[in-house]
Chains A and B, each alone.
Chain A
Amino acid sequence: MGLLDSVRGFGLTFGKLFDERVTTEYPAEKREKSERLHGRHVLNRYEDGMEKCIGCELCAGVCPANCIYVRGQDNPADDPVSPGERFGFVYEINYLRCIHCDLCVEACPTEAITESKLFEFSFTSRDDAIYTKDELLVGDDGKPQQLPWEDWRDGEDQHTSAWMRATAPSGDASYEGRVAWAGELGYGTRDPEVGQSGGDGD
């Protein structure tokens, strides 16, 4: 090891001093979110206000982090919560465990659970970290609820929209995202995602 090695080691450090800054001062400034960001989940509704979740527990079954707890119940005949026989009676996601892999979104047969680009999780207790239906369900207008610790800004509506598929059905790498369901009650619009191959970048 030569004497000049330590000086040479700082070369990178000093060099970067004069590069463009990449650090932003959050929360004063929020960075643009990447196209495929997986944020917090929302539970969607149909346009008539019915919940899409049917309590099938496929999301819970596929979850690699075991962070979802769902229980179904018979739909009350006089006041159904969802179309069909069963509805999601309990729906909880533990965000201390969730790794935002979006396999739940993939597994969902009714597109009831999707992920938004909302990323602010600043709960202060373990109980707060478990989001229940009260937090996850979208409002009657299809817009997610703003939780007390979420900082929403003008023009960020599309961050709350959550209809994006994370990966392609059947693992097709050249999949170009499409809005796959009709009568969508979403809030804000978001461009369809670009496939993992064959897109502009390739």
Chain B
Amino acid sequence: MTAPTDADVVPVTVNGVEVEANAGELLIDACERNGVYIPRFCHHPRMKPVGMCRMCLVEVDAGRGASLQPSCMLPCTPGMIVDTESDLTKKAQDGVLEFLLINHPLDCPVCDKGGECPLQDQTMAYGPGESRFVEEKRHYEKPIPISDTVYLDRERCILCDRCTRFASEVAGDPLIHFQDRGSQTQVNTFPDEPFASYFSGNTVQICPVGALTAKPYRFKARPWDLEEVDSTFPNPMGDRVNVQSSRDRVLRIQGVDSDATNWGWLTDRDRFSFEALSHDQRLVTPLVRGDSLGNATDDGDELVATSWAVAVERAASAITASLEAGGAESIGVIGGANLTTEAQYVWAKLAKGVIGTDNVDAQLGDGLPAQVVTALPRNTISDAMAPGSAVVLLVDDPKEQFGTLFLRLRHAAVEGDITIVELSPIASGLGSLVTVGAHARPGDVGAVARAIVDGRTDVEVGGVEPAELQAAAAALAARAVTVIVGRPSVAEQAGPIIDAIAAFTELESVSFLPLLRRGNISGALDMGLTPGMLPGRTTLAEGGEWYRAAWGTVPADSGLDTAGMLEAAVDGSLTTLVLLGADPLADFPDADLASRGLAACRTVIAVDIFASSSVANADVVLPAAGFAEGAGTHTNLEGRLSPLMQKVNPPGTARADWLIAAELAWALRADLGIESPESAWAEIERLAPSHAGATVEQVRAAHDGLVIPRPDDAGADRPAMVSFSAPVPTEIVPVDGYALRLVADRRLYDQGTIVQHCASMAHQSDLARISMHPLDAAALGVRDGDLVRVTSARASIELPARPDRCVPRGRAVIPLNRAGADVRALIDLATVVTDVRVATL
């Protein structure tokens, strides 16, 4: 947004009324803010002005007589006299529209934009009414696919430059451009280069005509069919979205401009993920083990459909049996990071307050301990990217995993005065926008952070040269630092990252943004879906008494994490496992342990929306409601609460997650006392130390959400929140000169359940490949595309290789969850890092 550079107020006369504009504010924005709408096509508040369409011509007298000037290019100056309704202005608008329509095909009845089209609307409002044009219009082939999801119809294009500006200015993927000249000017991709941007869907949303349309929405509905609701997309950024449905099916998701989070943008994966919601493989009915005739029997080999009463009773009796045989410790809950915050609380209450087990973990060995994450002082995204601040990136590539945060970072790096220091093991999609790329060797990031913080930058540390260390220290000096921290690679254990966090906490002005994967992971950690914690960022030790008074019972000792639970299942001490939208077989870093653990469990109860591989092996399957099928609250990485609204009904008899927990509790002869998401939230607000003062009404009313903890001291009488204490530093693993250190990262399109159930995205997941520095590849005699054998201490896999200059020396990158080869076979959770040897075949 073209933010006012100066707070000075400038008096401007608009249509005879004196209004106050901010100095530097564009006339078109100042007029709109004061209730005078000037028609426009090319002007977009989140992009730089270009003055392409001339629709916003108004009569302006800035001291040298009245003349027509484009108001989107004109900063307000004192004493400006503007007439947006003069005869001359109207003649100009009339003429501009007549020219724009000369080559516009007027195929509105078959155009997806028809009915919500700015060109239609403004022609009706400001246009000449009748066409004088009888000649043949310009013709192009229509429509041409410019990417896997976007169609381009050049006949309809009015050359407003919005999509091309978005691609080059906002997304940094300048893959579409104006081509040819004069009346032949057209937007197009370059030959043989599709518009393969992760953000291509945004151009469809901002196109003021129907020139760009999206394949997943193509001809699905007309705008007047759609019902809409503002909601939040359940990703770690908490992107604000508008969910649109027709006949009980979500048909489109559009970004909503929220200053605090996504600025109206979305990644294609999120924008088009609604396709999975109405997939015919959704779980629609409870399943239990039964025989091939479909009868529910205790020892059947197949999953058969049954009623909720039978399924819940089976689940409850399995839990009761485990409770009697092995106590509460023999029951575990894995997952829950994709639930609403309310559902997470209800499940935490069921597990810890009714069943009494602390074996609860929302992360599958690929996150950071909640005791660390919830204890860190947090910042907001906007403050982290304010001019004059510094950002440290120690996360997955934000372009691959957290697209809208990437767009915010990119904007701040290009426009704002911020420095970005990358400590992640490989370079991110920010590329040269990063101030310093101090790519620490996996396992050494703690030492690198320590060297930067302490200023010991005279020797090489962890694969980072002294020059880079000095540059990093200089980039952070005297700036407010925000560390965006996550788990950039599951082949590197959490220890070194926590050491890096501990080092950064010693900086003078530092705050954190914990960026972990899975939608509502922040909510899950806040709600205590993690061992040793209770809702409201408090520990068992600190908050035990408080919650015992409220819930009746609370586990005495800290429980097991996901790895611990799977090991306990293997040795027989854990007999009943609940999977809350979790798929350990595909998602846990140690696939072998996951499969042995699930097989050894007496009963696996799965709550999910799709029959993933883990769900297919479960004993009781309970179908859950997905996104837009239930209401609740989302928590993003800042701790920002924003409402998730229901738009459609869940398929079949699928139920909301909180309701499943309440039913299960009832079958266990306990009453959770929760009747709706609102009553769950009331309890969270009443009990959780971090959520004091955040009522459901406040959350619903705030357009940009509500950041917790609230600044007031409403929670003063509650248990203290967890505080950060640096653990014993993890030992640095010596470098094996003959090996490459493995980085297992994630890409936008993978074999994930949602992506694979979206027709427009499933095929975009590439095959797994091993990338390494070209010099490393040359030393090993590996050329592009060669099949290589990659061997770790644990196993070996074969996959094609690709030399990549973005990968630092001595490292090998294999993406997780891709078809072809499973990198998880190489990873040993017992070692801090994984070294692999690469050999040509």
B109 and chain A: residue at smallest CB distance = A56
Convert B90-117 into 0s and 1s, putting 1 for each residue whose CB lies closer than 8 angstroms to a CB of A.
0000000000000000010110001100
B140 CB–A CB distance under 8 Å: no
Instruction: For chain B, give the interface size range.
Output: 10 to 19
Are A54 and B109 CB-contacts (below 8 A) given A61-B224, A86-B219? Answer: yes
Give complex CA distance A60, B142 in Å: 26
Contact between chains at A56 and B224 (CB < 8 Å): no
Convert B208-244 into 0s and 1s, putting 1 for each residue whose CB lies closer than 8 angstroms to a CB of A.
0000000000110110110000000000000000000
* In the complex, chain B residues whose CB is within 8 Å of the CB of A58: 109
* In the complex, chain A residues whose CB is within 8 Å of the CB of B114: 56
Give complex CA distance A58, B225 in Å: 11
Contact between chains at B225 and A86 (CB < 8 Å): no
Give complex CA distance A60, B114 in Å: 14
* In the complex, chain A residues whose CB is within 8 Å of the CB of B222: 56-57, 61
Contact between chains at A85 and B109 (CB < 8 Å): no
**A115 to nearest B CB, angstroms?**
20
* In the complex, chain B residues whose CB is within 8 Å of the CB of A110: 109
Give complex CA distance A71, B222 in Å: 9
A54 and chain B: residue at smallest CB distance = B110
Are A56 and B218 CB-contacts (below 8 A) given A85-B142, A85-B143? Answer: no
A80 CB–B CB distance under 8 Å: no
**B566 to nearest A CB, angstroms?**
46
Contact between chains at B224 and A85 (CB < 8 Å): no
Contact between chains at A86 and B224 (CB < 8 Å): no
* In the complex, chain B residues whose CB is within 8 Å of the CB of A76: none
* In the complex, chain A residues whose CB is within 8 Å of the CB of B221: 71
* In the complex, chain A residues whose CB is within 8 Å of the CB of B110: 54-56, 72, 84-86
Give the tally of cross-chain contacts (CB within 8 A). 32
**A77 to nearest B CB, angstroms?**
12
Give complex CA distance A55, B219 in Å: 9
Convert A52-80 into 0s and 1s, putting 1 for each residue whose CB lies closer than 8 angstroms to a CB of B.
00111110110000000001111000000
Give complex CA distance A77, B218 in Å: 15
Contact between chains at B219 and A74 (CB < 8 Å): yes
* In the complex, chain B residues whose CB is within 8 Å of the CB of A71: 221
Contact between chains at A57 and B219 (CB < 8 Å): no
* In the complex, chain A residues whose CB is within 8 Å of the CB of B143: 85
* In the complex, chain B residues whose CB is within 8 Å of the CB of A73: 219
Give complex CA distance A61, B114 in Å: 12
B106 and chain A: residue at smallest CB distance = A109
**B150 to nearest A CB, angstroms?**
15
Convert A26-66 into 0s and 1s, putting 1 for each residue whose CB lies closer than 8 angstroms to a CB of B.
00000000000000000000000000001111101100000
* In the complex, chain B residues whose CB is within 8 Å of the CB of A61: 115, 222, 224
B225 and chain A: residue at smallest CB distance = A57
Give complex CA distance A58, B109 in Å: 8
Q: Chain A: how many interface residues by the 8 Å CB criterion?
A: 16
**A60 to nearest B CB, angstroms?**
8
* In the complex, chain A residues whose CB is within 8 Å of the CB of B107: 84
* In the complex, chain B residues whose CB is within 8 Å of the CB of A60: 225
For window 109-162 of chain B, which residues contact chain A by CB distance below 8 Å? Answer: 109-110, 114-115, 142-143
Most buried by B among A57, A60, A84: A57
**B559 to nearest A CB, angstroms?**
51
* In the complex, chain A residues whose CB is within 8 Å of the CB of B225: 57, 60
* In the complex, chain A residues whose CB is within 8 Å of the CB of B219: 55, 72-74, 85-86
Are A74 and B218 CB-contacts (below 8 A) given A56-B114, A57-B225, A85-B142? Answer: yes
Are A109 and B142 CB-contacts (below 8 A) given A57-B225, A61-B224, A73-B219? Answer: no
Give complex CA distance A36, B236 in Å: 62
* In the complex, chain B residues whose CB is within 8 Å of the CB of A86: 110, 219
Give complex CA distance A55, B221 in Å: 10
A82 and chain B: residue at smallest CB distance = B110
Are A109 and B224 CB-contacts (below 8 A) given A74-B218, A74-B219? Answer: no
* In the complex, chain A residues whose CB is within 8 Å of the CB of B109: 54, 56, 58, 109-110
**B252 to nearest A CB, angstroms?**
15
Give complex CA distance A8, B198 in Å: 87
* In the complex, chain B residues whose CB is within 8 Å of the CB of A85: 110, 142-143, 219
**A46 to nearest B CB, angstroms?**
15
Give complex CA distance A86, B222 in Å: 12
A74 and chain B: residue at smallest CB distance = B219
* In the complex, chain A residues whose CB is within 8 Å of the CB of B218: 74
**A6 to nearest B CB, angstroms?**
58
**A147 to nearest B CB, angstroms?**
27
Give complex CA distance A185, B225 in Å: 32
A109 and chain B: residue at smallest CB distance = B109
B114 and chain A: residue at smallest CB distance = A56
Give complex CA distance A56, B225 in Å: 11
A108 and chain B: residue at smallest CB distance = B109
**A127 to nearest B CB, angstroms?**
18
**B428 to nearest A CB, angstroms?**
38
**B63 to nearest A CB, angstroms?**
46
Give complex CA distance A106, B222 in Å: 18
A69 and chain B: residue at smallest CB distance = B247
**A29 to nearest B CB, angstroms?**
43
B224 and chain A: residue at smallest CB distance = A61
**B153 to nearest A CB, angstroms?**
9
B153 and chain A: residue at smallest CB distance = A85
* In the complex, chain B residues whose CB is within 8 Å of the CB of A54: 109-110
**B565 to nearest A CB, angstroms?**
48
B246 and chain A: residue at smallest CB distance = A71
Give complex CA distance A55, B218 in Å: 12
* In the complex, chain B residues whose CB is within 8 Å of the CB of A74: 218-219
For window 617-665 of chain B, which residues contact chain A by CB distance below 8 Å? Answer: none
For window 548-565 of chain B, which residues contact chain A by CB distance below 8 Å? Answer: none
Give complex CA distance A58, B219 in Å: 13
Convert B382-403 into 0s and 1s, putting 1 for each residue whose CB lies closer than 8 angstroms to a CB of A.
0000000000000000000000
Give complex CA distance A109, B115 in Å: 14
For window 104-161 of chain A, which residues contact chain B by CB distance below 8 Å? Answer: 109-110
B219 and chain A: residue at smallest CB distance = A72
For window 222-280 of chain B, which residues contact chain A by CB distance below 8 Å? Answer: 222, 224-225
* In the complex, chain A residues whose CB is within 8 Å of the CB of B115: 61
* In the complex, chain B residues whose CB is within 8 Å of the CB of A56: 109-110, 114, 222
**B34 to nearest A CB, angstroms?**
34
Give complex CA distance A61, B116 in Å: 13
**B676 to nearest A CB, angstroms?**
32
B213 and chain A: residue at smallest CB distance = A85
B142 and chain A: residue at smallest CB distance = A85
* In the complex, chain B residues whose CB is within 8 Å of the CB of A57: 222, 224-225
Give complex CA distance A85, B110 in Å: 7
* In the complex, chain A residues whose CB is within 8 Å of the CB of B224: 57, 61
* In the complex, chain B residues whose CB is within 8 Å of the CB of A109: 109
Give complex CA distance A24, B142 in Å: 57
Give complex CA distance A58, B111 in Å: 12
Give complex CA distance A58, B114 in Å: 10
Give complex CA distance A57, B110 in Å: 9
B151 and chain A: residue at smallest CB distance = A85
Give complex CA distance A54, B112 in Å: 12
**B769 to nearest A CB, angstroms?**
34
Convert A10-37 into 0s and 1s, putting 1 for each residue whose CB lies closer than 8 angstroms to a CB of B.
0000000000000000000000000000
**B107 to nearest A CB, angstroms?**
7
For window 175-224 of chain B, which residues contact chain A by CB distance below 8 Å? Answer: 218-219, 221-222, 224
Give complex CA distance A170, B115 in Å: 20
Assuming A85-B219, A109-B109, what are 11 further A-B pairs, CB within 8 angstroms?
A54-B109, A54-B110, A56-B222, A58-B109, A60-B225, A74-B218, A84-B107, A84-B110, A85-B110, A85-B142, A86-B219
- 25 A-B pairs whose Cβ atoms sit less than 8 Å apart in the complex: A54-B110, A55-B219, A56-B109, A56-B114, A56-B222, A57-B222, A57-B224, A57-B225, A58-B109, A61-B115, A61-B222, A61-B224, A71-B221, A72-B219, A73-B219, A74-B218, A74-B219, A84-B107, A84-B110, A85-B142, A85-B143, A85-B219, A86-B110, A109-B109, A110-B109
Q: What are the 10 tightest A-B residue pairs by CB atom distance, in nearest-first order? A: A56-B109, A72-B219, A57-B222, A109-B109, A86-B110, A61-B224, A86-B219, A85-B110, A54-B110, A84-B110
